Chains A and B, each alone.
Chain A
Amino acid sequence: MSFPSRMRAARRYVAVVVVSGSLVLMAASSGRASASGGASMTVTLYASPTKEQFLNHADDRARGNGSNPFGNFSNPVATTKEHGNGPFPGDQAVFNFNLFAGPVLTKAAGAAVFVCTYNFAHNGLCEGAYQLGRGTLYVKGPLDFDAKTFSLAVVGGTGNYAHLTGSLTETPTRTSSRRAASQRTVLSLHRVSGPRHTLALQSVTTSEVFLNHADDRKRGGGNNPFGNFISRTATTGEKSGPYPGDQAIFTFDVYAGAKLRTRAGSAVFRCIYAFKRLGFCDAIYNLSGGTVVAEGAFSFDTTTYAMTVTGGTGRYASAAGEVAAGLPTSKKSQPVVIGLV
């Protein structure tokens, strides 16, 4: 089932309604949910891996280059002499999952995508998007690829999951030979609230760098905490790129009005492609008084997009909220509304 059709299926089961300013989440058949006090909730889902793309960056590893703000530290040991089993620092992996409401994996609840970058000793940094019926929840954090369980931070959400934070814990379920491997995913969520304000901006794209990792795409290597799932099918057989693991960096000038006369700052997006041209983007808006940090997973075949605000610095410290970009205008600028809490 494709990502969009799985999302449509999920909508049949998940009903999220906003009533009088409070979030009312009716998890009818979509996942077990329970309230813990008035301000937090727990959602339980079951994730079954469906696709994986591993990127072996052996040909890209080099000694440190240039300065860094960590005491100009440069590794004294050759990093290209790889001993033992990888994955090694810099390798990457993209995983897709189907989400279900219960352990029998019959009722669809959405889909998830993880993009992970390995660092040292089979550990990695993973960012995940849980695309549910009425929005997306985003998670991020360190992951031990030799472990069976893991916990990640919930850094925000879009749609009816906007302004949510918390944590995620994933553990393997017992599987029978007839059933696919799955992980029990428990999301403990909490809503961020406070005074709301909106930034109405226009962004103009100024540069792009595309990274084609065709030479790095391989079958999965090493362990993973997703039932050691490795795609059995060829992962490079998609009809048109960009392909999973490819990356792109975009820079933007940001203006305060549609006439593009008042400069408000700049923005930079770093995106890694998952399957079917879904881009997983980290965004930073450098504005007067601080930065807004956001991330989002959206199709690169569309003309609009949404992201979640995961935090900020300066006047935007501890910010939560959403970024909504509308249709580009004739001047090639794009309206961007940042709603902050």
Chain B
Amino acid sequence: MRRITAVSTVIAILLLPAAASGASRKAAAQKVTLYILPKAEQFLNYSDARQRGYGSNPFGNFKDTSATAKNPRKPPQPGDMEYLQFNVYKDPSLRQGAGVAHITCQFSTTTNAFCDATYELDNGTLVGSGMVDFATSSFQLAVVGGTGRYRDGRGVLQSTPAAHGAEHVAFDLT
């Protein structure tokens, strides 16, 4: 009896109607504007770690036959990483603090890098992911989720240069 009761208490049938969630997705649309100012940076040079492919992979067991670093004396090279920490502000004059942000990037085979960005604000966190060209001054990332007020938040963020050495970050969430 205890077993039946225990099982029955943990069995739940969860219906997720498409129409209902679609409607709430529209209702949650919002725009968020922030200004971020770099505070700290750390670069990791992986020149001692680069080598030819090793082990199996599910991409046809592809093995590269060419050199993996074309000009190893000129970083960043593929695999190198860059970490940045930012203070976050609500206003372009950078007076009203709003939290902190971190961007973690790993360089690909060009000046492009995989970047994950987290914006830790008073009422929740926004998470962005995507490719950033380090030779440019602005970029776009996908907003892939969040916590707190931004739970279920998805969309796009656009980062562009602003005054006082800051970046203007515009989130378009759906």
> A209 is contacted by which of B38, B68, B131, B154 (Cβ under 8 Å)?
B68
Q: Which residue of B lies closest to A68 (CB)?
A: B134
Alpha-carbon separation in the docked complex, A65 to B114 (Å): 16
Q: Which residues of B contact A (CB under 8 A)?
A: 7, 9-22, 24-25, 38, 40-46, 48-60, 62-64, 66, 68-69, 75-76, 78-86, 102-104, 106, 108-109, 111-112, 114, 116, 118, 120, 125, 127, 129-148, 151-152, 154-156, 159, 161, 165-167, 172, 174
Q: Is the CB of A27 within 8 A of B11?
A: yes
Considering only residues 285-316 of chain A, those with a C-beta below 8 Å from chain B are 286, 291, 293, 295, 298-305, 310-313, 316
Q: Provide the bound-state CA to CA distance between A18 and B139, in Å.
A: 39
Find chain B residues with CB under 8 A from A141 CB: 118, 125, 127, 145, 147
Q: How many residues of A contact B (CB 8 A)?
A: 121
Among B82, B140, B151, contact of A188 (Cβ-Cβ < 8 Å): B151
Q: A153-B147, A166-B152 are in contact. Are A71 and B38 (CB under 8 A)?
A: yes
User: Closest approach, in angstroms, between the C-beta of A24 and any C-beta of chain B?
Assistant: 6
Q: Are A41 and B14 in contact (CB under 8 A)?
A: yes
The answer for the CA separation of A272 and B144 in the assembled complex, in Å, is 20
Residues of A close to B14: CB separation below 8 A: 23-25, 33, 35, 41
- Among residues 18 to 74 in chain A, which have CB atoms less than 8 Å away from a CB atom of chain B? 21-35, 37-41, 57, 59-71, 73-74
Question: When chains A and B are docked, how far (Å) is the Cα of A32 from the Cα of B134?
Answer: 45
Q: Which of A115-123, A172-180, A226-234 contacts the other chain?
A: A115-123
Using a CB–CB distance below 8 Å, which chain A residues touch chain B? 21-35, 37-41, 57, 59-71, 73-75, 77, 79, 88-90, 101, 117, 119-120, 123, 125, 127, 140-142, 151-156, 165-167, 188, 190-194, 203, 205, 207-213, 215-216, 240-242, 246-252, 268-270, 277, 279, 282, 284, 286, 291, 293, 295, 298-305, 310-313, 316-320, 325, 328, 332-334
Interface-central residue, B21, B50, B84, by most chain A CB under 10 Å: B21
Cβ A212 vs Cβ B49 within 8 A: yes
CB pair B43 A154 closer than 8 Å: no
Which one of B16, B85, B174 has the highest number of Cβ atoms from chain A below 10 Å of its Cβ?
A: B16
Q: Which of A69, A251, A334 contacts B133 (CB 8 A)?
A: A69
Taking a contact as CB atoms under 8 Å apart, the answer to whether A311 and B137 are in contact is no
Which of these, B118, B129, B166, contacts A142 with CB under 8 Å?
B118
Q: Do residues B131 and A71 form an inter-chain contact, with CB atoms below 8 A?
A: no
- State A193–B161 Cα separation when bound (angstroms): 34
Chain B residue at smallest Cβ distance from A63: B43
The CA-CA distance from A77 to B140 in the complex, in Å, is: 29
Q: Which residues of A contact B133 (CB under 8 A)?
A: 69
Closest chain-B Cβ to A10's Cβ sits at a distance in Å of 15
Q: Which residues of B contact A301 (CB under 8 A)?
A: 56
Q: Which residue of A lies closest to B10 (CB)?
A: A32
A277 touches B56 (CB 8 A): yes
Identify the closest chain B residue to A59 (Cβ).
Answer: B48
A125/B118 contact (C-beta < 8 A), A39-B17, A119-B85 known: yes
Top 6 closest pairs, chain A to chain B, by CB: A153-B145, A311-B142, A89-B42, A73-B38, A205-B62, A328-B60
- Which residues of B are found within 8 Å of A77, using beta-carbon distances? 40
Chain B contacts for A303, CB-based, 8 A: 58, 60
State whether A293 and B109 are in contact (beta carbons under 8 Å apart), knowing that A70-B84, A240-B55, A286-B131 are contacts in the complex: no
